[in-house]
């Protein structure tokens, strides 16, 4: 039986069907932009694509939210997470979702549309529902060893997601909206300096949109010697045939459950 990964970006649903030794299938479902109700747009997109409602071995879903905190796990029970979110943001728009990240001492607390989460849990029983940064953090912890310091930058058409790992420990995780690649270069260099990374010794790895990450690699090599696109991990081959073409956001979701 295959597994399913879903990335709810706010404008679309990216999906990946994988496992069971078959060819992986991935795609992009645009949400109806004429609807003011995000939950209804999500429901319509799911119900209009019956394959999403098939039986799956496991289902992992990521929800994008700009209101989030990275918390130490010892302070991140549901009640404490809610209090800290309320203290950090003047207005919460929905429910607080708490995601523990395996391999770290950190959790991600985020503000999400409670109606959407309820719909996902009702429609996909047993699904793991995560903040969008949680699978990227988990990937970086696994990918970069205890003798390594790395800034990982994953870029899409409107946001840059940055995670820094040093000697096997999470240092920083954040999402930055951008208008031009110059913005992304500024964010990356600022985080690099803030985290005390070495421009000759430490690594910067880029994932996401192929054209954008290639442009960023060229620009960032002016300051950081070891800036290059991320290499697809060997674990991806276990997800099915043609797995090397899986988009990074979906790859990290699939590997989060492996």
Please name the residue that has the structure tokens 């990335």: 7
Number of other residues whose CB lies within 10 A of the CB of residue 205:
21
Task: For the chain, list the domains and their CATH numbers.
Answer: 144-229 (3.30.420.260)
Question: What does the chain come to in residues?
Answer: 258
pTM here?
0.94
Q: What is the pLDDT of residues 116-131, one digit of tens each?
A: 999 999 999 999 999 9
Please compute the mean of the pLDDT values over residues 50-72 and round it to a whole number. Answer: 95
Pick the more confident residue, 12 or 232.
Answer: 12
Q: Which tokens belong to 69?
A: 């905190």
Confidence band, pLDDT 50/70/90 cuts, at residue 254:
very high
pLDDT, averaged across the chain: 93
Q: What is the pLDDT of residues 178-195, one digit of tens each?
A: 999 999 999 999 999 999
Q: What is the pLDDT of residues 233-248, one digit of tens each?
A: 888 888 888 888 899 9
Can you tell me the distance from the alpha carbon of 187 to that of 135, in angstroms, rounded to the nearest whole number? 21
Q: What percent of the chain has pLDDT over 90?
A: 79
Please compute the mean of the pLDDT values over residues 192-210 and round it to a whole number. Answer: 96
Please compute the mean of the pLDDT values over residues 20-40 and round it to a whole number. Answer: 91
Give the DSSP per-residue string, 18-54. E-TTSBPEEEEEE--TT-S-HHHHHHHHHHT-GGGGS
């Amino acid at each position: 039986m295959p597994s399913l990964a879903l990335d709810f970006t706010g404008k679309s649903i990216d999906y990946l069907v994988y496992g069971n030794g078959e060819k992986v299938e991935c795609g992009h479902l645009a949400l109806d932009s004429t609807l003011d109700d995000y939950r209804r747009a999500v429901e319509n997109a799911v119900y209009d694509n019956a394959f999403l409602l098939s039986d799956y071995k496991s289902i992992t879903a990521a929800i994008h939210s700009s209101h989030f905190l990275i918390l130490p796990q010892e302070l991140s029970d549901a009640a404490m997470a809610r209090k800290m979110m309320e203290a950090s943001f003047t207005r919460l728009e929905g429910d607080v979702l708490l995601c523990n990240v395996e391999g770290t001492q950190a959790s991600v607390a985020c503000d999400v549309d409670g109606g959407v989460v309820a719909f996902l849990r009702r429609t996909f029983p047993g699904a793991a529902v995560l903040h969008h940064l949680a699978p990227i953090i988990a990937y970086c912890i696994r990918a970069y060893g205890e003798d390594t310091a790395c800034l990982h930058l994953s870029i899409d058409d409107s946001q840059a997601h940055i995670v820094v790992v040093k000697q096997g420990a999470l240092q920083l995780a954040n999402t930055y909206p951008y208008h031009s690649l110059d913005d992304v270069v500024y964010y990356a260099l600022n985080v690099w300096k803030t985290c005390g990374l070495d421009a000759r010794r430490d690594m910067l790895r880029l994932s996401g949109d192929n054209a954008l990450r290639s442009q960023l690699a060229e620009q960032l090599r002016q300051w950081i010697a070891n800036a290059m696109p991320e290499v697809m991990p060997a674990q991806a081959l276990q997800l099915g045939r043609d797995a090397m073409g899986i988009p990074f956001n979906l790859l990290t979701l699939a590997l989060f459950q492996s």
